Structure 1
Amino acid sequence: MHDLYSVIESMHDNVVIVNKMGVTIWVSSCFERTYGIPKDSIIGRTTYDMEAEGFFSPSVASLVLQSKQTVTIVEDNQLGGRNIVTGVPIYDKAGDVEWVISYTVDSRYFLKLNNEYEKLNEALDGSQLVISPDPSSWGVVAISPAMQRVLEYVSKVTLVDTNVLITGESGVGKNVISRLIHKQSDRSDGPLMEINCAGIPANLLESELFGYEAGAFTGACRQGKVGRIELANGGTLVLDEIGELPLELQAKLLQVIQEKKLTKLGGTRAINVDFRLIAATNQNLRSLVDKKRFRSDLFFRLNVLHLNIPPLRDRTEDILPLANNVLEESNGKYSTNKYFSPEVIDALQMYSWPGNVRELRNVVERLVIISEQLIITEDDLPSHIQDGAFLERENKLPLKNALYELEKKLVARAYKKHKTTVATAKALGISQPSAARKISKFCK
């Protein structure tokens, strides 16, 4: 491990390692140069604390711990600089994130691009950029009537400053819509603070939301801490997975919503706050209210404007445009120029996508990585998508045709795997002559 740290130290850019609780366990020596903080003063502190105190924002490690995926962001730091930061998850044997390693790209590259942008702005002779209220210009795929209705509703929601409740299955894009509402609202110049109520341990969530005064509890930062609610002042607060918020915190949140004031842990002074609240969940909050797991008064406060995002299986017109968008992004990311075969397009549109847009993104990026040719074929698809699309297709065929297609698929798959008629016959539980005839019929 010492040799690894020595290699990292030799890198020009800053590197930080945090554990699964968000606690900083190692930073490279150039951390002080980048952030103006001695490295020894942050070892043992959480990335959540550092973000809340304004040393940097947003925290890439926090986003990686929430998403369990590699994340790249543009980060602001307390010295007034902007850095491009990438966080990479390191998984344990169970597939959970054990460590997050983040590295900062030299901000001079960013500053150079920013200067070019400023010069381009000046060349426009002071002409102003006008954001169109037309939802079709918002960069969200909405070919289907269902998603077009969602964007039409969003266009109305952005005109008012009321609480919004966004519901929908996991992976449908609730975070995309919440960010869109903020971007198109009058609060777009203010901060957008997002927190996943299920992504932070319950014993830390209260201090993350409300902050705390110095000495509020054992182990508290001696300077105290600013909570996410206070940091959202003048902007938008997004509470994802609101159904996971503990009951005792629901009462405190309700009070803040009603009074627009909060009191930090260990404090006595009420702090005025002004923010728009967007809550999101994949759960049925009415059902949770009936089960006494969610406060009815908080539910009614949140459910002023309700926006439900339909699952991808109910807006199949969006599947191919979404897949093509991800294909284009992935081609750029991996410097390739791959494209879908007609069979893959058919399979993608036939599959039911239980994981919705998130699953679609993961599958398409995987296809770009693993396919060995420029054309992505049906053989590159995960077997569960091949089978799911096949079943959907066969549901629409007469029994005789469906049985023929099923036999053809099974024989072809077995022969591709086992290579010989003897092995194929054994796998299918039929005689070798029978296997040979079927291989000749279906595979030659």
Structure 2
Amino acid sequence: MKEKSEGMPYNKLLQELSYYKQTYEELKLIMDTTFDQITVTDGKGVLLKVSKSCQETFGISESEMIGKDVYELSKSGIFNPSITIEVLKKKKELSLIQETASGKRLLVTGIPMINEKGKLVRVVNISKDITESEMLKKQLEETEHLLDWYRDEIRRNQIKNKDYIVGNSTSMKKIIELVEHIGNIETTIILLGETGVGKSFIAKTIHQMSKRREQPFVQINCGAIPENLIESELFGYEEGAFTGAVKKGKKGLLEVAGEGTIFLDEIGELPMQLQVKLLHVLQEKQAYKIGSTEPFDIKARIISATNKDLKKLVREGKFREDLYYRLNIVPIHIPPLRERAEDIPLFINYFLSKCNQKYSLSKQISSNAYKVLSSYNWPGNIRELENIVERLVVTSNKNTIEENDIFDIFTHIPKYVGEVNEFIPLKIATEEFEKQILLKAIEKYKTTRKVADILKIDQSTVVKKLKKIKKESLNDYINHRF
């Protein structure tokens, strides 16, 4: 048989050509029918083969790509960045996100082919179109963001419409706006205000406004627990840490709070030795149980509150200055009830409704009674107001609570207050005004000597007038009751 090629029979050559042709057609079929985009370049980055799907993906035809160099195509924006260029540089398999001229986003993997001499001869790129999945991911993120916003709004409204009221005064509206803003900001907050203004409620509201809302809210009154017990309550203790310790040890409230919120009420009462430990907690986010040498992590958010002047305590050496500045990052001052008198009727109505429901009654309060209650300065704030409303509901034997019912149980409230809607004898008005001044003065300054100094009268006069007020109050009580 005549040979067509040196060293190889003609028939064998035909067979090999047929095999290579079949292999090429199979590979071409695979490349053209796969959902992924496949390109092959030589060792210099010139495109040798591309799958049919590349035309739609890259925005140019197959014939426009074959024979072109990837450097040129990348520079013209057909695709960017070029995975082939990176593989040629680093000579290893790489993956990256690529954008094309047609607006597609591809996840591209470039695979180098290296011959037996260690020379890079081909780069095969397999690209997966992730445009739709990226869009779906973005839409999902936007939807989640929108859902979070709706959840937050629903939660805010639930808190505002909860079985509790905050008030409609300008000062309280500003506080709630601030609480909404800082709820999810992981910063240290201290609540300032007199006893009974609602500091614990604001602390719970901050917790509910935060992402920690599903976690525990743990409250501890630093002034209500004996000094020798508060350390173990806060930090816990190990087995055998001291006589009387629980056998298995005990978790402290800082640990019990987990990833929730711990509210340290009356922080000004915290003993000095524990102030050092609390400072460590705030700085290092770690604490030690009593009897342990291994720290545990503090993951809870800490909110503190006080009715004391911490600056004054610092000056007196009763409160650590460094701890004061650590706690005082975001101070929120809650004004006393007397400074937001417009909120008093709201609280009266709320407490009246609550008591009526509690005792299965339907009591009402007259307009004059509202004026009397609104005139008082409420040193005990909301807590005191709630107490008085409940006493009025329970003790009044009529459906409508009148001002005299208030005077019966609460002699500190002045009888003649507010606007002058009717005329009374000037002597009575003067006596009533004098009574108000004396009662407020003795309430504030505690001693008759101090009251005498302030009012510029003799101490004996103060004592005499206070005895008269006490006697009149007793007579009023007897006359109304018997």
**TM-score between the two structures when normalised by the length of structure 2:** 0.56
- 1:301 deviates by 0.6
Q: How many residues align?
A: 292
**8 Å Cα contact 1:330-1:368 kept in structure 2:** yes
1:415–1:192 Cα change, 3 Å: closer
Which amino acid is 1:171 matched to? G
Q: Which residue of 1 aligns with 2:154?
A: 131
Give the SS at the match of 2:413: helix
**8 Å Cα contact 1:347-1:385 kept in structure 2:** no
- 1:373 deviates by 1.0
User: Does residue 1:403 correspond to 2:448, yes or no?
Assistant: no
Query: Aligned partners of 2:367, 2:423: CA distance in 1, in Å?
Result: 25
Query: Aligned partners of 2:259, 2:168: CA distance in 1, in Å?
Result: 34
Provide structure 1 residue ranges, at least 5 long, that are not aligned to the other structure.
1-126, 420-444
Q: Which residue of 2 aligns with 1:371?
A: 396
- 1:269 deviates by 1.0
Q: Tell me the C-alpha RMSD between the 2 structures.
A: 3.0
Q: Which residue of 2 aligns with 1:180?
A: 205
Which residues in structure 2 correspond to 1:139-178 (within 5 Å)? 139-178=164-203
User: Does residue 1:240 correspond to 2:240, yes or no?
Assistant: no
- 1:398 deviates by 12
Query: Aligned partners of 1:217, 1:414: CA distance in 2, in Å?
Result: 54
- 1:384 deviates by 7.3
Alpha-carbon deviations, 1:163-196, whole Å to 9, x = none?
A: 1000000010101100111011111011111000
**8 Å Cα contact 2:217-2:262 kept in structure 1:** yes
1:383–1:284 Cα change, 3 Å: farther
Percent sequence identity is: 42
Partner of residue 382 from structure 2, selected from 346, 357, 360: 357
Query: Aligned partners of 1:220, 1:413: CA distance in 2, in Å?
Result: 53
**8 Å Cα contact 1:197-1:241 kept in structure 2:** yes
Which amino acid is 1:198 matched to? G
Higher RCO (CA 8 Å, separation ≥ 6 residues): 1
Alpha-carbon deviations, 1:266-303, whole Å to 9, x = none?
A: 01111112111100000000110111100011111111
Q: Which residue of 2 aligns with 1:218?
A: 243
- 1:388 deviates by 2.8
**8 Å Cα contact 2:239-2:248 kept in structure 1:** yes
**8 Å Cα contact 2:155-2:208 kept in structure 1:** no
1:387–1:180 Cα change, 3 Å: same
**8 Å Cα contact 1:243-1:281 kept in structure 2:** yes
When Rg is computed on C-alpha atoms for both structures, the one with the higher figure is: 2
- 1:387 deviates by 4.8
Give the SS at the match of 2:263: strand
Query: Aligned partners of 1:344, 1:321: CA distance in 2, in Å?
Result: 14
Q: Which residue of 1 aligns with 2:283?
A: 258
1:245–1:399 Cα change, 3 Å: farther
Which amino acid is 1:403 matched to? K
**8 Å Cα contact 2:411-2:473 kept in structure 1:** no
Alpha-carbon deviations, 1:326-380, whole Å to 9, x = none?
A: 0000000000000001221110111111100000000001111001111112222
**8 Å Cα contact 2:348-2:385 kept in structure 1:** yes
1:403–1:387 Cα change, 3 Å: farther
- 1:413 deviates by 7.9
Give the SS at the match of 2:220: strand
**8 Å Cα contact 1:168-1:174 kept in structure 2:** yes
Q: Which residue of 2 aligns with 1:388?
A: 413
Q: Which residue of 2 aligns with 1:55?
A: none
Alpha-carbon deviations, 1:188-219, whole Å to 9, x = none?
A: 01111100001110000000000000000011
1:152–1:241 Cα change, 3 Å: same
Which residues in structure 2 correspond to 1:15-414 (within 5 Å)? 131-133=154-156, 136-137=160-161, 139-383=164-408, 385=410, 387-390=412-415, 392-393=417-418, 402-405=426-429
1:382–1:210 Cα change, 3 Å: farther
Query: Aligned partners of 1:129, 1:161: CA distance in 2, in Å?
Result: 17
